[in-house]
Copies of this chain bind each other. A is one copy, B any other.
Amino acid sequence: MSFMMDEIMEQPEALGRTLEAELNHARAFRAFAEKQDFRLIVLVARGTSDNAALFGRYLLEVTTGIPVSLCAPSVHTIYHARLRLRDTLVVGISQSGEGSDINIVLESARRQGAYTLGITNEARSGLARAVHEVFLARAGKQRSVAATKTYTTQLLLLYLLASALGPEITVRELSEIPKRAAAALKLASEVKELVERYRYMRQCVVVARGLNYANAFELALKLMETCYVVAERFSSADFLHGPIAMIERDFPVLAFMPPGRTFSGLRKLLERLKGLNAETLVITSEGVRLPAATRALRLPVDLPEIYTSIPYIIPGQIFAACLASIKGLDADKPRSLQMVTKTV
């Protein structure tokens, strides 16, 4: 087995450990945040961590009402802009904590008056030293270049942050997450069989909307880096504004379809794709039949939409790891990549 698959399997424990260790921290942060009255949240990250940030963008706006901006690092690192960041919470996310551009942005934001918070897996990293406060992931050492358990623990810490900044995310629901992740892992053997069908897939599109939009980015990134599939990713709305023209017979479209507010829009898209004779693979936990889907992976667990993001990426991670394996590729060591990528 690959390190990647090992680390996928470790996720229930990594999530449980992280939740237990940081729960009181989040409670304390709630009191601090109430005094601070943040007017804006800026999230800064790269790669998989940037996909976690994209999740945080939706979760934090939807549950706290505080506007969120996803930072463009070059504004700080290349153009040296001085932004007005008073009353702003700037959150840096990095597995290793050694992304040089992320740390430059955090230091610059701190000088410009922001309160800075780091989400990282490494307590002694440059990121941990640069920020006012660290929410620490306990994912254990990451040995595969393709990040999996660090992505989901980052998502969990963003839920904890949301629980500190608004009323909607509750500890009771968060404590269900490790169990729900374990339920998602039960799909492993089904995914392993299914993946044979995609042995020769060279390109695809991954779509989702809202809280699962980040998962579309993350699954596409996993497919690009471990399987060398040219994987595009779109919100199902943006997809209709142009890219759908690419779709022809047999073109594979992967879709995250949680129950709740994004479901009916995605179902309509699925029907349209069936009309174009595209191949569709759906990840869902919704019970209704989906006759328009070519294939479906059903999570054996009942989930409120807002808590789907962590369990839903798991069959995607397994899909990428298994597909890499049957393509004869080493998911742990993608060509051209290192564990820590330094960019400015």
Interface of A with B (CB < 8 Å)?
Answer: 39-40, 42, 46-48, 50, 57-58, 61-62, 65-70, 72-75, 78-79, 81-85, 88, 101, 202-203, 209-210, 213, 221, 224-226, 228-230, 232, 235, 237-238, 240-248, 261-262, 265, 276, 334-337, 341, 343-344
Given contacts A47-B238, A224-B246, A230-B232, 4 further A-B contacts (CB under 8 A): A58-B79, A61-B72, A67-B88, A72-B210
Residues of B within 8 A of A78 (CB): 209-210, 261-262, 265
List the 9 closest A-B pairs by CB distance, nearest first: A47-B241, A69-B69, A237-B343, A245-B334, A225-B242, A225-B245, A62-B79, A74-B210, A78-B261
Q: Name A242's contact: one of B62, B209, B232, B337 (CB within 8 Å).
A: B337
How far apart are A279's CB and chain B's nearest CB, in angstroms? 14
Residues of B within 8 A of A246 (CB): 224-225, 228-230
Q: Name A82's contact: one of B65, B74, B229, B261 (CB within 8 Å).
A: B65
Residues of B within 8 A of A61 (CB): 72, 75, 81, 83
Residues of B within 8 A of A67 (CB): 40, 42, 69, 83-85, 88
In the bound complex, CA of A70 to CA of B57 (Å):
10
- How many copies of this kind of chain does the complex include? 2
* Cβ contact within 8 Å between B47 and A75: no
Q: Name A203's contact: one of B42, B203, B238, B247 (CB within 8 Å).
A: B203
Chain B minimum-CB-distance residue to A342: B240
Residues of B within 8 A of A47 (CB): 238, 241-242
* Cβ contact within 8 Å between B335 and A245: yes
* Cβ contact within 8 Å between A344 and B228: no
How far apart are A88's CB and chain B's nearest CB, in angstroms? 7
What are 19 residue pairs bridging A and B, where the CB atoms are less than 8 Å apart in the complex?
A46-B237, A46-B238, A48-B242, A50-B241, A58-B79, A61-B75, A61-B83, A65-B81, A65-B83, A74-B210, A74-B213, A79-B210, A79-B261, A101-B237, A221-B242, A225-B246, A242-B334, A245-B336, A245-B337
How far apart are A288's CB and chain B's nearest CB, in angstroms? 19
Q: Name A72's contact: one of B42, B58, B81, B88 (CB within 8 Å).
A: B58
Residues of B within 8 A of A235 (CB): 74
A65-B79 CB under 8 A given contacts A221-B243, A224-B246 = no
How far apart are A65's CB and chain B's nearest CB, in angstroms? 5
How far apart are A140's CB and chain B's nearest CB, in angstroms? 21
* Cβ contact within 8 Å between A343 and B241: yes
How far apart are A251's CB and chain B's nearest CB, in angstroms? 9
